[in-house]
Amino acid sequence: MRTPLIKILPLLLAVIFSGFSCADPWVPDLGNGYYKNPILFADYSDPDIIKVGSDFYMVASSFNAMPGIPVLHSRDLINWEIINHVYPRLPFEKHDRHAHGLGSWAPSINYHKGTFYVYFCTPDLGLFVATTQNPAGKWTLTHITDVELWEDPDVIWDDDGQAYLVRGKVRADILYLHKLSADGKKLLDDGQIIYKDLQNQPVIEGPKFLKHNGYYYIFAPAGGVTTGWQAVLRSKSIYGPYEAKTVMHQGDTDINGPHQGGMVELDSGEWWFMHFQDRGVYGRITHLQPMRWINDWPVIGEDKNGDGIGEPVSSWKKPDIGKTFPIKTPQTSDEFNTKKLGLQWQWHANPKAEWYSLNRAHKNHLRLYSIQNLTQAGNLRFAPNLLLQKFPAPAFSANAQVTFHPEGEKDRAGLVVMGKTWAYLAFFKKEAEVRLGLFEGTYDQYDDVTRKINSVSWQANAQNEYSATLKVEIVEGGNSQFSYSRDGITFTAIGEPFQATAGIWIGAKVGLFSLNSSIHKSSGYLDVDCFRVE
C-alpha cells in the first residue's frame, strides 16, 4: 500500500532541513566529529587564542567599533559565543565621533599567574594593555605609552620571569623587541630591531610569541593581507638572530592570504592554529587549522606536497578534547528584553547614554533617539550612533519590527547595511507626511552623497504611530535586497539589490540607526521590538 505524499511530506522536509537552524546562519560543527572552515564566517579580524584549563578564549580587532575587542569563549575550538568586550569605550575625545580605521588593531591575549592580559595598539594613540582575573567580568585598561604607528603587540614571560614585548611598525615591515616590567604594564627600554627581510618576508606583521623545545618562535604573517602567507621565525636567543620559514600558504586551495592568528596546545598533545582569511565584503573570517611539528618547525594545515608548507583545510576532524559540547554560534538575533544590549552589537564610536534606552522607556523594546547628525541628507559617514553587528554568514536575512515616532522634519530611522557605501530603509518625514524610503550613500570628503532610490507613503495607526517590519536579504557576494511589510507577513521589495561593500579595515555590517540632520534638536525616536537574523 502506498503512503499518500501529504503524509510523508513533513518527514521529507524534516530530513531536508535537518541540522538547519533559522537562528544560526553558519554552523561549522558538522555533528559527526568533524568541522568545516571557516569556523566563524564573520569579521573577527586578527584573531588570537589561548587555552586556560579546559577553556579557550579568543579576541579580535575592533577598530572604531565600540565596545571594543570582543572576547569569545569555547570549550572545543569550534563552537564559540561572545562573553564580553575588553573595553566599553576608548577614553579619547576623537573616538566620540567617527574614527574610521582607527581604534584597536590586532590584539593579543595571554595568561600569566592568574591574570589575563590583552595587548593592543592603535595607530595614533600608542600601546595599551587590559587586565582581568575573569575574562567575562570587568577589565582594567592601562595606556602604556603614547606613540604613533606601533602595531600588533604580543608578550611572553620567559623562564626567569622577565617579560618581553614584540611588535611591528605600520608599513615598516620590521619587528621590534622590548623588555617589560614583571606586571606587564611598563616598558623598560626603547626596544631594538630583531627582524627585517624585505626580500623574503615582506609586510611582516602580527607577531605572536611561543617558546617550545628550547626555541623562541615568532609566528608572523607576511606578504600582505589578501595574498600573503604564514611565516615562522625561530632562534635559541630571544634577541635572535632569527631564521625564517614559510609554514602555510594558499597552495591549491581557494583560501587566499591564510595567515595571522594564534596557536594552542591541547592536553591530548594536539596543536591548532587559528587564522583569518580576507573575504572582502564579509571582512576577515576565521579558520582553524591542525598543526604539527617536524624538525622543530610547525606545519600548519595539510602538507600535500611533503615540502613542510601546509595548505588550509576545508574540513577536518574536530580537536581531541575528550568530550563533546553543544553547538553554539556567536549571538545575532535580539529580542531586547534584557537590561543590556546583546554582545553582538557595537556602536560606530564611543557610545553615549542619550543615544538609546533599553527595556525602560518601552518595556521589551530598544528605543533609539533622533540624535543630531549635522550633515545634509542623512549621510551616515559622520554618524557615531549606528548600532551594528557583523555579517554572520555568506547568505542570511535580517529583519526588525519597528515603530517610528517622528518629531522633526529631518528625523530618519530604520534598517541599514553599512560599509564604505551604504543603503538603508528608513522612515522619514516630509512636510506633513511620513514616508518609508530606500536610500543609498557613499563616502565623499567634499560632499554629502546620499540619494533617495524610492519611497512609499505610510499611514499612522490609531495611536498615531508608524509601524512596519523592515527586512534585508543578503545573498552570497553581498547583494542586499531590502523589503518591507505592513502586516509582518507579506513583504514587498523596494528598489534594486544593493551591493554591500567593506568598511575601512572591517567588513560590511547590518543594524539600526536613528538620526536628525537638522540644527534643531528633535525629540523623535524609533522603537524596535526585535531584530532577527535567519
Strand partners, 143: 128
d(Cα 503, Cα 396) in Å, to the nearest integer? 19
Burial 129-145 (b: 16+ CB within 10 A, else e): bbbbeebeeebebeebe
Residue showing cell 524610503:
437
Q: What is the pLDDT of residue 448?
A: 67
Report CA 181 to chain centroid distance, whole Å: 31
Q: Is 46 a catalytic residue?
A: yes
**pLDDT digits over 472-526, tens only?**
999 999 999 999 999 999 999 999 999 999 999 999 999 999 999 888 888 899 9
Q: What is the pLDDT of residue 461?
A: 87
CB-CB contact of 511 with 378 (8 Å) = no
**pLDDT digits over 31-90, tens only?**
999 999 999 999 999 999 999 999 999 999 999 999 999 999 999 999 999 999 999 999
The residues, any chain, with a CB within 8 Å of residue 251's CB and separated by 6 or more, are: 304, 305, 309, 311, 312
For residue 180 the three cell numbers come to 617589560
Q: Write down the catalytic residue from 151, 205, 473, 529.
A: 205
Q: Answer positive or negative: Cα dihedral of 37, 42, 44, 45.
A: positive
CB-CB contact of 465 with 403 (8 Å) = yes
Q: What is the pLDDT of residue 6?
A: 40
CB-CB contact of 244 with 469 (8 Å) = no
φ/ψ of 5, rounded to 5, equals -55, -35
The residues, any chain, with a CB within 8 Å of residue 516's CB and separated by 6 or more, are: 370, 371, 372, 373, 408, 410, 411, 412, 522, 524
pTM assigned to the model: 0.93
Nearest by Cα to 107 from 45, 162, 55: 45
Which domains occur in the chain, in start order? 28-317 (2.115.10.20), 346-533 (2.60.120.200)
The terminus-to-terminus CA distance of the chain in angstroms comes to 40
d(Cα 241, Cα 234) in Å, to the nearest integer? 8
Residue showing cell 577553556:
55
Give the CA count within 13 Å in the CB-facing half-sphere of 444.
Answer: 11
CB-CB contact of 477 with 507 (8 Å) = no
Cα 267–Cα 272–Cα 273 angle in degrees, nearest 5? 145
d(Cα 105, Cα 225) in Å, to the nearest integer? 14
d(Cα 144, Cα 129) in Å, to the nearest integer? 7
Q: Is 270 a catalytic residue?
A: no
CB-CB contact of 223 with 202 (8 Å) = yes
Nearest by Cα to 312 from 228, 409, 242: 228
Q: Write down the catalytic residue from 46, 48, 151, 473.
A: 46
CB-CB contact of 310 with 301 (8 Å) = yes
The one-digit pLDDT tens for each residue of the chain (534 residues) are 334 444 334 333 333 333 333 457 899 999 999 999 999 999 999 999 999 999 999 999 999 999 999 999 999 999 999 999 999 999 999 999 989 999 999 999 999 999 999 999 999 999 999 999 999 999 999 999 999 999 999 999 999 999 999 999 998 899 999 999 999 999 999 999 999 999 999 999 999 999 999 999 999 999 999 999 999 999 999 999 999 999 999 999 999 999 999 999 999 999 999 999 999 999 999 999 999 999 999 999 999 999 999 999 999 999 999 999 999 999 999 999 999 999 999 999 999 999 999 988 889 999 999 998 877 666 898 899 999 999 999 999 999 999 999 888 889 999 999 999 999 999 998 888 999 999 999 876 666 678 899 999 999 988 888 999 999 999 999 999 999 999 999 999 999 999 999 999 999 999 999 999 888 888 899 999 999 999
Q: What is the pLDDT of residue 318?
A: 98
- What is the number of H-type helices and E-type strands within the chain? 1, 38
